[in-house]
A and B are shown apart, each in its own frame.
Chain A
């Protein structure tokens, strides 16, 4: 009986195509990124082997660590926001009237491309005509904040649209997971006198913990390598106040023609992501036991 599920041919048939694609189209670039990281290369012309020079520079590069800190902050924010999304998903999936409609609407911003979202939020944050400051001045607040232009606020300001943009992504997955929770278990708990909160906390959430764990990893890794909106909205500025690892890497590799150093940053990011994932898995496994 076990034989069926350890059928070698089937396993190879199922796994190999994907594995080959990934090895070929992702691992070769990963290996090459590591290799370029050992070079002094502008991306044009001759490469020069310089060993670990780029990595040594990286360790002492204040800007790199600053960008890393910003990326880590984004990761923390994203993970925290998961709690909010979970609550929303629990409400929407709890068969309240109109839940399905609300869910559909909530996910709509996710359909928009980053180009549109960036423009929308630049307009919302505009210090003079923007939505937020117009509202604030309507309530009589004179000294309205500068948002993206204020180095102390820019980073947090730019987090808001990012977290908002991804809300749909997480909600749609959590929702699908919650909908899959067997109704019988919930009924049984209800008959035992459990209220909605207890059912959510004791039954639904543990049952979708597998999905939640994956989402935490996706949120952290996705945040660490995040690029799009930040690059369009602030370009990493003002004065690197919103620089993240990926934008820093892009600027070095494509803007400044330091392709070797840019690759080293990319490889550093990869290692950081691996470390973070390993840690999350450790932590969540302990939690579950």
Chain B
């Protein structure tokens, strides 16, 4: 990997330097814009409702309300919901990735009839609007006795993320070199061995990418949880956010605090996974 860091070995002309300067200026400005929401969220979390509305979003809170965090943690029930969010997300992401990889592998590397049909089935599944599914899904889970059971959430997250994950993986699988796999076939490897030992590791950067996307979706989801779960003990952190929305009053400071608490774990995992995107880098980038 390192030997490829040849960078721009060309001599730098002044014009090029100016161009780079402008480029960096733009990059930095955009970066600041992208960081602003985090700052805004943090400020929001320290404000009273009165300060949130009718004042400039830049305005600093008069006296920072750290108690918003205490409110969020206890009144919003975050302490309880947090762990649920974590394990629903992990289980669903892992299931989705492995199932989607299986399917994509079969669709792009294996020989069989009905490939087109199966692919179309997955693509169409991506197109259904969420609100059309709620009543039928509730019925299905109800018949299976899965209402108020985390299995319904895991199943929903996994299934509804499958189509988009398969489609993204598909794009990558198509452009990945097949030589190693072909060589392995020649050597008499079994399909499973090829999949687990060659293809899956080779797609690590892509898996990291889709893992990030899946994780964000699952972490921020609340419609399924609200519909299929009724006990407090199975609810997730986004429900905590919504606990501060009332009919006549919404406690925005506490919502801000909840959002800050809830964004931290995925921010950390994201930064960690984000490095995997390049580290796994073209594991099988075979010559040619």
Contacts and interface: CB of A to CB of B under 8 A. Distances in A.
B267 A111 contact: yes
Interface residues of A, number: 101
A157 interface: no
A22 B125 contact: yes
Contact of B213 (A18, A169, A249, A270): A169
B89 interface: no
B274 to A, nearest CB: 6
A109 B34 CA distance: 6
Contacts of B124: 30, 270, 274
Contacts of B252: 119
A179 B278 contact: yes
Contacts of B167: 214, 217-218
A18 B163 CA distance: 9
A14 B106 contact: yes
B159 A10 contact: no
B190 A4 contact: yes
A74 interface: no
Contact of B132 (A7, A21, A224, A249): A249
Interface string B155-170: 1101110111011101
B234 interface: no
B70 interface: no
Contact of B282 (A23, A130, A180, A274): A180
Contact of A28 (B130, B140, B170, B205): B140
A258 interface: no
B18 interface: no
Contact of A21 (B23, B31, B162, B186): B162
B163 A274 contact: no
Contacts of B72: none
Interface string B246-288: 0000001001100100110011001100100110011001011
Residues of B contacting A: mostly: helix
B266 A111 contact: yes
A24 B140 contact: yes
A17 interface: yes
Interface string A168-209: 010011011101101110010000000000000000000111
A245 B127 CA distance: 13
A26 B133 contact: yes
B118 interface: yes
Taking each of B121, B125, B132, B213, which has the highest tally of chain A beta carbons within 10 Å of its own beta carbon?
A: B132
Interface string B111-148: 11000001001111111111111011100100000000
A116 B128 contact: no
Nearest to B133: A29
Given A129-B56, A210-B172, A108 B37 contact: yes
A254 to B, nearest CB: 7
B57 interface: yes
Contacts of A176: 172, 205-206, 208-209, 277
Given A184-B288, A225-B129, A18 B100 contact: yes
Contacts of A207: 175
B130 A227 contact: yes
B8 to A, nearest CB: 8
Nearest to B288: A184
B185 A108 contact: no
A212 B174 CA distance: 12
B41 interface: yes
B255 A105 contact: no
Given A113-B241, A120-B37, A129-B55, A29 B137 contact: yes
A160 B212 CA distance: 23
B220 A113 contact: yes
Nearest to B101: A14
A95 interface: yes
Given A116-B37, A274-B124, A111 B270 contact: yes
A219 to B, nearest CB: 12
B106 to A, nearest CB: 4
B57 A184 contact: no
Given A2-B111, A26-B125, A124 B41 contact: no
Given A26-B159, A245-B129, 10 more contacts: A25-B155, A25-B156, A105-B31, A106-B34, A108-B267, A177-B172, A184-B285, A215-B171, A224-B127, A249-B131
Shortest 3 CB-CB contacts between residues of A and residues of B? A211-B171, A266-B132, A273-B127
Interface of B: 4-7, 20, 23-24, 27, 30-31, 34-35, 37-38, 40-41, 44, 54-58, 99-100, 102-103, 105-107, 109-112, 118, 121-133, 135-137, 140, 155-156, 158-160, 162-164, 166-168, 170-172, 174-177, 185-186, 188-192, 194-195, 205-206, 208-209, 212-213, 216, 220, 238, 241-242, 252, 255-256, 259, 262-263, 266-267, 270-271, 274, 277-278, 281-282, 285, 287-288
